[in-house]
Amino acid sequence: MPTIHSTELYQKLLNKYGYQYWWPLIRNGELLYSEKTHLRNPDEEEAFEIVIGAILAQNTNWINASRALMRLFDRQCMNPKQLTQMERPELAELIRPAGYFNQKAKKIQAWLEFQRTKIDGKVLNLCKEPLSEARRKVLSVWGVGKETADSILLYALDFPVFVIDAYTRRLFSRLEWISGDEDYDFIRKRIESQMEKNTLVYREFHALIVRHCVEYCKNKPLCDACSLFDFCSATNSGGD
DNA sequence: CGCCAGGTTGTTG
DNA sequence: CAACAACATGGC
């Protein structure tokens, strides 16, 4: 079985699916995957939306997470000022569609407290720090683990970190790049060392991996129709 | 109906 | 330090 390397995989997925234009934002009540917002860095409002969206999307499909986001927008609450004034049960009720709503309400409040007291009220103030310092600070927030932290660093703050999520582990395992249970940072650093440090590439690559896993490299993979069949150890018999 | 979705934290051996 | 439980909605 021939092996495929990071940059080749990226090119192959990009050829098949095209640009995904992550991170998706909510504009005028609907999801926006826009080339325009993709090619420049987020402004403060967009960065804040990415942070909240990253928390809401934890172990939850994006449809439900975005539904919760839209409810915040509908109530004119999608900003630090309004969210800070809200009691936890009220916030939890608003974000109910995202699941784990009590936990996530607590996490959002933890972020608001962090933002108010540690970074002078603005997400983008983290851009002034070196990557290692920004990552350490974001990870210190209760409810923000490595994947959420790296999503914030990459998509909101334009730091060159590669995000490892469950899809990424699954795909890389099936491609036999990893066994599957490796440490998060081990996998991240490996990919980062094999690719040019380009935030737009990291953003698209991660988005493309999600796209490919949602459509083909599912729990029960659709190997017959998969464009990576030749490079993959998974079979189409229903298992790995 | 059961499974799963762009995880993280707390507890236990 | 690994394994496991808890957290929860909505689509298929």
**Tokens (6 digits) for A85:** 């004034």
Contact between the CB of A231 and strand C at under 7 Å? no
Q: Is the CB of A102 under 7 A from strand C?
A: yes
Region A39-64 average pLDDT: 95
Q: Which of residues 165-204 of A touch strand C (CB under 7 A)?
A: 181
Percent of chain A whose pLDDT exceeds 70: 96
Q: What is the mean pLDDT of residues A74-93?
A: 97
Shortest CA–C1' contact from A107: which nucleotide? B8
Choose from A2-6, A40-44, A117-121 the range with maximum mean pLDDT: A117-121
- Residue A218 per-residue DSSP state: S
Q: Each residue of A17-35: pLDDT tens digit?
A: 999 999 999 988 877 877 7
Phi, psi of A209 (to 5 degrees): -65, -45
Nucleotide nearest to A98 (CA to C1'): C9
The whole-number pLDDT of residue A230 equals 94
The pLDDT value recorded for residue A235 is 65
pLDDT tens, position by position, A180-214? 889 999 999 999 999 999 999 999 999 999 999 99
Cβ of A61 less than 7 A from strand C: yes
Q: Which of A147, A155, A151 is nearest to A187 (CA)?
A: A147
Question: Residue A238 pLDDT more than 70?
Answer: no
Work out the number of other CB atoms within 10 angstroms of the CB of residue A26. Answer: 18
What CA–CA distance (Å, rounded) separates A13 from A7? 10
- Whether residue A166 contacts residue A147, with contact meaning beta carbons closer than 8 Å, is answered with no
Task: Give chain A's mean pLDDT.
Answer: 94
Cβ atoms A49, A31 nearer than 8 A: no
Measure the CA–CA gap between A70 and A115, rounded to whole angstroms.
22
Cβ count near A181 (within 10 Å):
7
Residue pair A69/A78 in contact (Cβ under 8 Å)? The answer is: yes
Token readout for A191 is: 């990919």
Strand C at less than 7 A from CB of A101? yes
Note the pLDDT tens digit of each residue in A150-179: 999 999 999 999 999 999 999 999 999 998
Number of H helices, E strands in chain A: 12, 2
Which nucleotide's C1' sits nearest to the alpha carbon of A97?
A: C9
pLDDT at residue A36, as a whole number? 67
The answer to whether A154 and A161 have CB atoms below 8 angstroms apart is: yes
Q: Which residues contact A153 (CB under 8 A, 6 or more apart)?
A: A131, A134, A135, A138, A159, A161
pLDDT of residue A153: 98
A22: amino acid identity, one letter: W
Q: Given this model, what pLDDT does residue A38 score?
A: 72
The number of residues in chain A equals 240
SS3 content of chain A, % helix, strand, coil (to 5): 60, 0, 35
